[in-house]
Structure 1
Amino acid sequence: MPRLDEYLTITEAADYLGVCTNTLRNWGASGKIKERRNPINSYRLYARDDLDAVLQQINDSGEYPSGWSKPRKRKPR
């Protein structure tokens, strides 16, 4: 069983990638990023390695992976 502290919540993952939480939900629903679920409360969890892979693709190509819509910038609250 993987340790839960190796994963980020949806809010933490969104901040890590610089996108909105709804963007992550959409990417997960379409299979563009792997979502895991907390076994206790079924909240979405994201492995840091998966998020790093997305960031690496962005850094290598200068744009979001093929077929991914570029997220709009988050408005400050």
Structure 2
Amino acid sequence: MIKNSDKKQEQEEVPELLTLQEACDLLKVHPNTLRQWDNNGTLPAIRIGAKRVRRYRKEDIINYLKSHS
């Protein structure tokens, strides 16, 4: 049996994923810039689904902002 606290801990471990536009809004950059950063490894994206849409970990965005401010 899974305890309520175990479920909460499991949910906290799952990173919140942002769309390309949400990430761009936080970083204040153009979508093409973020795509380029993904392609060159500056800020890698996660590819999801058959269409391989980009998603960005919120934690990665926050860490990037902290290290580049």
Contiguous gaps of at least 5 residues in structure 2: 1-12
Contiguous gaps of at least 5 residues in structure 1: 60-77
Cα separation, 2, equivalents of 1:35 and 1:51: 10
Letter in 1 for 2:67: Q
Aligned with residue 36 of structure 1, among 23, 34, 46? 46
**Corresponding residue for 1:49?**
59
Q: How many residues align?
A: 57
**Corresponding residue for 2:5?**
none
**Whose helix proportion is higher, 1 or 2?**
2
Matches within 5 A, 1:1-77: 6-59=16-69
State, as a whole percentage, how many aligned pairs show the same letter.
Answer: 33
**Residue aligned with 1:33, SS:** coil
Superposed CA RMSD in Å reads 1.9
Letter in 1 for 2:17: Y
**TM-score, normalised with respect to structure 2:** 0.72
For the pair shown, the structure with the greater C-alpha radius of gyration is 2
